[in-house]
A and B are shown apart, each in its own frame.
Chain A
Amino acid sequence: MEERIIIAGFGGQGVMAIGQILTYAGMIENRHVSWLPSYGPEMRGGTANCGVIISDEPVGSPVVVNATAAIVMNKPSLDKFEPTVEKGGKLFINSSLIDQKSQREDIEVYYIPANEVANELGNARVANMVMLGAYLEVTKIVDLESIIEGFKKVFGEKGDKLLPINKEALKKGAEVVREQMKAMV
């Protein structure tokens, strides 16, 4: 089993962070993992992305070309990475910022109003965790406890205060997507 995820959005939306949290969680569960970011000037205000691989085998190429899943936080990311998702893969669209439907019919697509959910929780910055919560609910790639551990690793002590709201965001993301999963069945 090898999960290859692309996470993309504007710089500042926390796409690198949720990629790292997910990678940590995989490592905590003794899987083989890698995290590869885009880097350079595009990071500043443009579209940032990272590729995460969680595998039962040692990771070969860390470059995600045929993604098993993609989390896209803004429209340029949808345009860029929609074709990257392999047949049967999963696409998570932040419908708060992307008013466009996926053109793909050979993949599972989920629409998560991440910014709205985050705003309801009182902190717009946790939109990324809403997306991550939805992704985990659908894929069950790692346990929620491992994600919490990963969060602590990535944010260290300064993350302590923010942990409750981030947990809440993960939960809300899962709830939102659960509705859609029911509708799909």
Chain B
Amino acid sequence: MTDLTRLTLTDARDGLKAKQFSATELAKAHIAAVEQARALNAYVLETPEHALKQAAASDEKLARGEAGPLEGLPLGIKDLFATKGVRTTACSRILGNFVPPYESTVSSQLWRDGAVMLGKLNNDEFAMGSSNESSAFGPVVNPWRRQGSNVGAGAAGAIEGNHLVPGGSSGGSAAAVAAHLCLAATATDTGGSIRQPAAFTGTVGIKPTYGRCSRWGIVAFASSLDQAGPIGKTVRDCAVMLRSMAGHDPKDTTSVDRPVPDYEASVGRSIKGMKIGIPREYRLEGLNAEIDALWQQGIDWLKAAGAEIVEISLPHAKYALPAYYIVAPAEASSNLARYDGVRYGVREQGRDIVEMYEKTRAAGFGAEVRRRIMIGTYVLSSGYYDAYYLRAQKVRTLIKRDFEAVYDQGIDAVLTPATPSAAFGIGEKGSADPVEMYLNDVFTVTVNMAGLPGIAVPAGLDSQGLPLGLQLIGRPFDEETLFSLGRVIEEAAGHFPVGERWWA
């Protein structure tokens, strides 16, 4: 029999309906693949019994002809999504052994539609990071290796050599999809955390418009920027996933009450006559030549498919990253105030309650999270609020206006590179200066600041044999155009599956 884990989500869906294999067989194949890939550290919790139970229920529904849109399809869930009765930690020590008595809205909709949960996926602690190195469970290994690298399976199932990071914060989601450890995964994106890891692993990731997916039950990082979305093997797979994840939720007042389109129908739709903006400000000084060439290649592909290319200007784009590093930490410092060692998670004893708080938070949070809470506290503190936070929110208005002006000119979407480089090595960035790591999100963060949808699609390999991605930015709530354009790039570039299971 063919390896069921190599199927795309939509091929597996069609195979189940055609009774070529059962949901139980599909789940078992994935459970075995997950077990053999523990050295990648993509999963922080495996839930095989749960998966087999859901798969058995799916087989019954399939037999009765009552299959949901995701019936019997095994998924991985980022550990930021609360899963009822299943440990959820945001990959932080401070949540300890937290077992939510409730289910996040997004994941509940996946189960409603018949999906099967394989387990919880690794991420940067509280989704703060671009390499998955800040996780309390340790880093994730990117299933991609540089040509001629020394990375391989060592003794006792460990990985040897200086492996690459999968990006972050949804590093476990991206690595699991790329390594065929699930058919698709949930992820979240606050500054690039879906698109950057997708680009680093040759997978597709979409951050929908702010408000498209409910944030209820997702561990909060920066509430005005956080948005859930899928990482999948193909554009079509992401379209199918997003349809189930999206939708209005009365429990999240920022979720938008408008119908969810059939996104899959937009995959393969003609892009003839669409106007694609190329922002001149994204041509950064010192931009990697391979990234620049890939961008030009993307322009040529879209042109060949009938799109019109227009040079545009986003004059405030360069200020998105510094403004983000005020707004996001400010919101994080407020959101993370709840981790006080009282209601859940771990507690360190102190002489009095303040010392208990201080010791608990010092021991429970990792270095990057502590740093961001402190920056956030500082920029919100009396005397600095206007100079930092208020100014950053004003700059954010200007960033959004730039996009509004472009869309008013009739531009349908904006094409940019997804990341300034391919995947880098573990320990390579950010150890001396945190800003070095932050620069990874330079192309993606603008989209969060303006609340727009953005998709990352793999578009080629660099000279080291590593995947590179392109990003398309759409109008608010026009994810459909992104799926149509993304599919054109995918068709031209081809797919980039990881070849051998070198880790097993």
A pairs with B: no
Chain A interface residues (CB < 8 Å from chain B): none
Chain B interface residues (CB < 8 Å from chain A): none
